[in-house]
Amino acid sequence: MAERARAPISGCVITFQEADRIADCVDSLGFCDEVVVVDSGSTDDTRAIAAEHGARVVVNEPFPGHRQQKQFAIEQATHDLVFCLDADERCTPELQRRISALRASGFGADGYQMPRHNHYLGKVLRHGLHVPDRKLRLFDRRKGRWGGRNPHDHVEMQPGARVERLAEGIEHLSYRDFAHHRRTIESFSRIAAEAMAAEGRRATVLDLLVRPPAVLVKSLLLKHGLLDGWRGLVVAWMAAVTDWKKYRRLMALTRGRRGEEAA
């Protein structure tokens, strides 16, 4: 790993209508040697603000999907070591210092996972479905790429690649308000259903009856979401609603396709 001593890092962010949040995101990547922001057609000041804060802005529209856009972003980077954030995330000062120390000593791994601290309506969640929420965000793009099923993408490393865990984390300001949460559920459940249908997946009434209650039990009891108070209850309920909407939409899509095939 000697060649990685003092290795440069590219920060990569994808955006759409993030004028109110992109500045803090880009600023938190100040330890990187460059920041690349890939925008999918914002009509607000997202691009201008990102550029004012030192980012190199690239436009890629229409939006190809979360996984595809994030892969496009790392391909636009100048350097092979990339650190990826969403516009609603910030690299904490502790994590900035840790990554700088790793770079000074020479990176010993091909990728690094770190915990994500999820904020919900003014407070960090300590329990529930997404705790611990570890994300692989710093990696060598020659050894990894963005994969998964939209909208729930993740980094996939090549076999044999070495991945280490860091204790320092990312702050995730998930939703601006409850209305934003509801809009996200509508969007994400639609995207997920379409992706599952494209893979040939089908949904049944059993999915609708079993999966949402199972999410509630897992979040509130098995993952102790009740300890987060009313926020834990709301997050668990909304996760169950998301599952219900996703499988209901998948059922409608597959029925529609069967009808077309019969015709």
State pLDDT tens for residues 215-237: 999 999 999 999 999 999 999 99
Global pTM value: 0.88
Is 90:25 a contact under the CB 8 Å cutoff? Answer: yes
Distance separating the N- and C-terminal Cα atoms of the chain:
60
Q: What does the alpha-carbon distance between residue 35 and residue 5 come to, in Å, rounded to a whole number?
A: 20
pLDDT of residue 1: 42
Q: Name, in order, each residue with C-beta under 8 angstroms of 87's C-beta and a sequence gap of 6 or more.
A: 13, 14, 15, 18, 21, 22, 25, 46
User: What dotted CATH number matches 2-173?
Assistant: 3.90.550.10
> Could you please report the per-residue DSSP string of 60-110?
--S---HHHHHHHHHHH-SSSEEEEEETTEEE-HHHHHHHHHHHHH---SS
pLDDT of residue 87: 97
Q: In the chain, which residues have pLDDT < 70? A: 1-5, 257-263
- Domain spans of the chain, in order of start: 2-173, 178-262
Q: What does the alpha-carbon distance between residue 147 and residue 140 come to, in Å, rounded to a whole number?
A: 15
